[in-house]
Chain A
């Protein structure tokens, strides 16, 4: 990121089951400013996979991650996302 964006919010969805965890995370991201970051804490395993997928699909960008005790902390921003393939590109050649 070009400037030093501030961490505007923090959301902890440990113990929240899928898909509610992903929904809450997306709502929280929607509430931050374009150049701000949000820290998300989510359980490792399936919950992480679902939340990351949901963040990617919504077009938000994950910048850093940190392994915690049975959980992962990630920093997410609204912008700066690199264009990536969508699921449609998964086709068999």
Chain B
């Protein structure tokens, strides 16, 4: 990189490749990308090497599962980037674009994970990372209702979800599900409807958080997974004006439909979003019902309405 002062460097172009000016003149933060917080040991070794050679031998762990190398002189940015790229470490994103995809370990590792979050994070990265948006745009995938990667704080949040189904033939009427449902959605009703059951169990869909505790813990398979998929949330943000995401669709059953809906949500944001206006604030300005209608109404025919 040429010897230049800060003023001559194109800061927005640097931001696009994950380099941010520090408070110290001529020094930069290198924001590195991880997909769902995944880095190999070799990549970490390379990051350590670069941080030692071009930074101050330290890294900063970001809130979005990324690693940042601070105190890199502007003359070293390009060399450091190339060394990192050799180990497969890519630069992250700053500015008004899709940021690194965040994900919990999900069903590949976690006992509660309903969906495979890691492979989904890689797919979302391939489809959307660094795409230009009206403002910063954050996507998170979380494996279940425990919500470890906080789907509802992101512009697009994807949360693994199941819809429980009661199986009278297997149910032994032990009543345990009424006790362990974390949100009290399960009720036992007296009397039978001619199927020989003395108690009938119901999960109130308005209260149920689609978490899979009942289907995982029932001792007799009286609760089974009826439908499984993804809850799609839109418009979450923290920052200066926090707003929790709104549910766009409770259970999206296929990945194909999910990506179509994400495409539609992004198209809607690009169409109506003002410069620097976050997706959620745009939704509040236009109205959630209008936005839902625009995104969901023209969903193609193979996709079922929820």
Contacts and interface: CB of A to CB of B under 8 A. Distances in A.
Given A48-B180, A64-B175, A74-B176, A92 B116 contact: yes
B113 interface: yes
Interface residues of A, number: 25
Contacts of B115: 92
A67 B181 CA distance: 13
B285 interface: no
A63 B111 contact: no
A84 B179 contact: no
A67 B179 CA distance: 7
A93 B219 CA distance: 24
A63 B219 CA distance: 8
Contact of B113 (A45, A53, A61, A90): A90
Interface residues of B, number: 23
A67 B175 contact: yes
B154 to A, nearest CB: 21
Contact of B180 (A52, A84, A85): A52
Contacts of A45: 182
A46 B27 CA distance: 48
B213 A63 contact: no
Interface string A39-61: 00000110011001100100001
A62 B174 contact: yes
Contacts of B182: 45, 49
A39 B285 CA distance: 56
A63 B180 contact: no
A31 B213 CA distance: 28
Given A52-B217, A63-B172, A85-B221, A93 B178 contact: no
Contacts of B107: 90-92
Given A92-B107, A92-B228, A93-B228, A62 B180 contact: no
A10 B116 CA distance: 40
Contacts of A81: 219
Interface string A13-52: 0000000000000000000000000000000110011001
A52 B176 contact: yes
Interface string A61-93: 111111100001010000001101101001111
Interface string B97-117: 000000000010001011110
A92 B107 CA distance: 8
Contacts of B217: 49, 52-53, 56
Nearest to A66: B175
Contact of B179 (A44, A53, A63, A90): A44
A67 B228 contact: no
B122 to A, nearest CB: 14
Contact of B176 (A65, A85, A91): A65
Interface of A: 44-45, 48-49, 52-53, 56, 61-67, 72, 74, 81-82, 84-85, 87, 90-93
Question: Shortest 4 CB-CB distances between A and B: which pairs?
Answer: A65-B176, A62-B219, A72-B179, A65-B175
Interface of B: 107, 111, 113-116, 170, 172, 174-176, 178-180, 182, 212-213, 216-217, 219-221, 228
